[in-house]
Amino acid sequence: MPKLFKTLSDASFQKNTAVSRSCLEAAPRTSLSPSKNCEIPSRHARARRQLAKLKADLSPAELASEARASVRSAPTHAADVFFTDGSVDTITGTAAATVHHDEFAALYRLPDNSSPLQIELLAILRALQLALPRDINVTIHTDSLGAIQALQTVSLKDNVNLITSVLATAKNIHDSGRHVHLNWVSSHTGIPGNEATDLAAKKALSLPQVTAPIPPSISQIKASVRRFSHEQAVTCLRPWITNPTSSAHWYNTTRTNTTPFPRNIGRKTRNALHRVRIGYKCLAEIKGTLPLACCHCDAATVSPLNHYVMDCPSTSDMLARGHAAAKDVIANTSHDALARLVSGHAPSTTSLS
């Protein structure tokens, strides 16, 4: 792939990218719509006929008619005509691209999980590279408006290698005195070249190995990092999931309490409320110095929080005790009521602060 811009300084990169992009911009700029063609260079471009209505509102017959008109309007005299397309297996993530010419078809297998934009850009790039030594004008039909828009983006944020490679190759052809015309054609409209390219792209999915390696995009790298982080988190938490602690069992139940959480409460009350919700052990339980005398009724208990929720007479009027387990009582008592409870009758003070 061309490395024209990879070794340039930032300022030179911007300058040369702008020069190459001028070979792809339509004139006027507003002609970027599903009904427009992009011609290279821009000074030779002209606005094309617009669709009578939005693509989504066109019938299949109307769309096919517009596609045929678009193909007829593209330059074919003294020009190499290419159709490009890509395909992705949504189940396996296998990706492929193809370039169709009257004389040949070129099939490429891309790295798995390549994005549709990457696939379409690679197909356009390969068409330009095939046309480069043939010393004739070039017309490329693509069904990817997204690829055309990406090539006209002023500030590149992703897929920089692919886009600049396309621009550099187009500039090389343009500098040799030839024209490159990039034409949008709607897919599945019965255009023979487009249909043949679509079938070839699906066939290319069966290629045994990658034949067109491309660097991952920034968005793909970020997705990989997120996926790896999630997998590592699950790996770390799996022992706790398969063999949870008593606190995990407790919170797994109390977290089902969806009542609004009170806002205007003090830090001390908030901390006590959270400890009740997560089944936090008091210091005596952690140190193993039970039994402990309840700070409200003086009853000795080996399970302070369970006693506080289920048995202590001082808290009975504030809790929905019609449940078999303490964690179910907490899950079915509103957070406002729990906040009032821990504010007036806090759990054992012999706890971690």
Burial category of 56 from C-beta neighbours within 10 Å (exposed 0-12, middle 13-18, buried 19 and up): exposed
Q: Is the peptide bond before 41 cis (omega within 30 degrees of 0)?
A: yes
- The answer regarding whether domain 10-212 maps to CATH 3.30.420.10 reads yes
**Tokens in use for 256?**
């089902």
Q: 285: helix, coil or strand?
A: helix
The answer, as to whether pTM is greater than 0.85, is no
Interior/surface letters 304-326, b for 16+ CB within 10 angstroms, e for the rest = bbbbbbbbbeebeeebebebeeb
The segments of the chain whose pLDDT lies below 70 read 1-60, 62-63, 66-67, 72, 190, 240-241, 243-244, 349-353
The ranges assigned to domains in the chain are 10-212, 246-344
* Strand intervals (E) in 172-307: 180-184, 292-293, 300-301
Q: Which residue, among 137, 214, 134, has the nearest Cα to 183 in the 3D structure?
A: 137
| pLDDT value of residue 4 | 33
Helix axes 335-344 and 267-278, enclosed angle (nearest 10)? 110
Q: Give the integer Cα–Cα distance in Å for 194 and 200.
A: 10
pLDDT (0 to 100) of residue 127: 95
- Backbone torsions φ then ψ of 34, nearest 5 degrees: -60, -5
Neighbours of 132 (CB within 10 A): 16
DSSP state of 333: S
Q: Pick the closest to residue 46 from 33, 36, 56, 61 (CA basis).
A: 36
Angle 160-175/10-21 helices, nearest 10 degrees?
A: 60
pLDDT of residue 283: 82
Q: Is the CA virtual torsion 20, 24, 27, 28 positive or negative?
A: negative
Q: Which among 63, 38, 39 is positioned nearest to 51, based on CA atoms?
A: 63
Residues 153-193 have pLDDT tens digits of 888 888 988 999 999 999 999 999 999 989 888 777 767 87
User: Tokens 């696939």, residue?
Assistant: 119
